[in-house]
Amino acid sequence: SETKQGALKIAVLGAGSYGTAMAYVATHNGHSVMVYARSKEVVDGINKNHINPKRFTDVKLPDSITASTDIKEVLKDAACVIHAVPAQHTPDFVGKFKDAFVKGIPVVSTAKGIHVKTHRLMSEAIPAALGDRSEEIPLVFLSGPSFAKEMVKGHPMAVVVAAHELKMAQHVQKILSSIRFRCYASNDVIGVEVGGALKNPLAIGAGMARGLGFGQSTIAGLVTRGCREMRQLAIALGGKPETLAGLSGVGDLMLTCFSSLSRNNRCGMALAKGKTVEEAFEEIGEVVEGVPTAKEVVRLAEIHKLELPLFRAVDLILSGKVKPDKALRLIMGRDLGTEEFH
């Protein structure tokens, strides 16, 4: 898999914001990167002008990033595959190309969310889509506070990579870590996935609070109580509660809740100002994973008999059952209790 001394070929599947950003950070160690994109316009833009014409048009990509519409060419000789396709499209995408993946080469999923049609986390949905190939393809899950816009500016940041076998997570950690992109390894796939997926609906809630004119104190309370709700669900699904105190949990949650760079946050702000979900989507122009995830969280809360008031409130707003200001009154008017951490 060596393309030059000490360097590897990395494949990136998906040329959206995060796929482009992952391609960018993967070159930090001298690796060459090939991106799979469906659009010939995007492929030509990357190959001829070193610019993705649909994302970050002001960012010159390194010469070591190339692109192709041929997934087999992209995967050929790659030492590591970064899967950067949105969560709701992931199972269909993986199922379509499952025979192209190379036995033993890790696939690192950056997709965050719960697949609505199958009610599965990505760590369940991807193996199911791989079918009889699932035992041959090692899966790793990357999560943590990392805005694509800041990644392509070379800002230093830290993320976590999780695999059921810690050795595989450590293998990917060594490939992707650089002076500007530090990866920590974990074997708590469920905890890391829950953190990555569940922060999105909470970020919509934070955006709503901001859109209603509330300040940082409100958001800080939402983040803290939201992290507790995430922890409760992670435990119910078999994850480790301490993982939610790390980069994929409170780290990613703080980033998305406090920053208007977050798509989910901007969606919440638009809803608070009276826009419909569809109008908010149109304004943002990219996938807002928190919307389908909110309904799935409530479904899981029912199964596991969990209260999760913040997630339920966000879902009520997204489904048009209550307005943001009324949902806030519902949360703040609940029975008083003690602060507990389990």
3-state DSSP call for residue 327?
A: helix
62: nearest Cα among 77, 74, 46, 76? 46
Which of 76, 199, 240, 295 is flagged as catalytic?
199
Is 199 designated active site? yes
CA distances from 108 to 150, 168, 279 (A): 20, 10, 33
What sign does the dihedral 39-43-44-46 (CA atoms) show? positive
Pair of tokens at residue 108 = 């690192």
Contact present, 182 and 156 (Cβ < 8 Å): yes
Pair of tokens at residue 319 = 């489904």
> DSSP code of 16?
S
43: nearest Cα among 77, 70, 25? 70
Contact present, 77 and 32 (Cβ < 8 Å): no
The one-letter amino acid code at 215 reads G
What are φ and ψ of residue 285, in 5° steps?
80, 5
Catalytic residue annotation: 199
